[in-house]
Amino acid sequence: MSNSPSPTPCSRSWSISEESLRRYVKFASESCIQELLAASDTNNNNKGNNNINIINSNYDNDGGWKLLTLDNGVEISKRRSGSLHTFRSRWVLPSVSPQQFITVANAIDAAKQWDSDLVEARYIKDLEENLSIIRLRFGENSKPLFRNREFIVYERRETMQDGTLVVAVASLPKEIAAGLHPKQSNAIRALLLQSGWVVDKLEDNSCVVTYVVQLDPAGWLPKCFVNRFNTKLVMIIENLRKLAQQACPPIEPQK
Q: Do residues 147 and 138 touch, judged by C-beta distance below 8 A?
A: yes
Nearest to residue 128, comparing CAs of 2, 255, 24? 24
Percent of the chain with pLDDT over 70: 71
Q: What is the pTM of this model?
A: 0.79
- The answer to whether residue 55 sits within a structural domain is no
The amino acid at 99: Q
Supply the pLDDT for residue 8.
Answer: 43
Residue span of the structural domain in which 218 resides: 16-40+66-245
Residue 222 lies in a domain: yes
pLDDT at 13: 67
Q: Each residue of 84-114: pLDDT tens digit?
A: 778 888 888 888 888 888 887 776 666 766 7
Whether the pLDDT of residue 6 is over 50: the answer is no
Q: Are 34 and 158 in contact (CB under 8 A)?
A: no
The number of domains in the chain is 1
| 116 phi/psi in degrees, rounded to 5 | -70, -15
- Would residue 184 count as lying in a domain? yes
Residue 35 domain-assigned (yes or no): yes
Query: What are the pLDDT digits (tens) for 171-224?
Result: 999 899 988 988 877 888 888 888 899 999 998 888 999 989 887 766 665 666
Whether residue 83 is contained in a domain is answered as yes
Residue 56 belongs to a domain: no
Whether 144 is in a domain gets the answer: yes
Sign of the alpha-carbon dihedral angle for 196, 207, 112, 238: negative
User: What is the mean predicted confidence (pLDDT) over 153-175?
Assistant: 92
36 lies in a domain?
Answer: yes
Q: What is the mean pLDDT of residues 73-91?
A: 81
> Could you tell me the CATH number of the domain that includes residue 191?
3.30.530.20
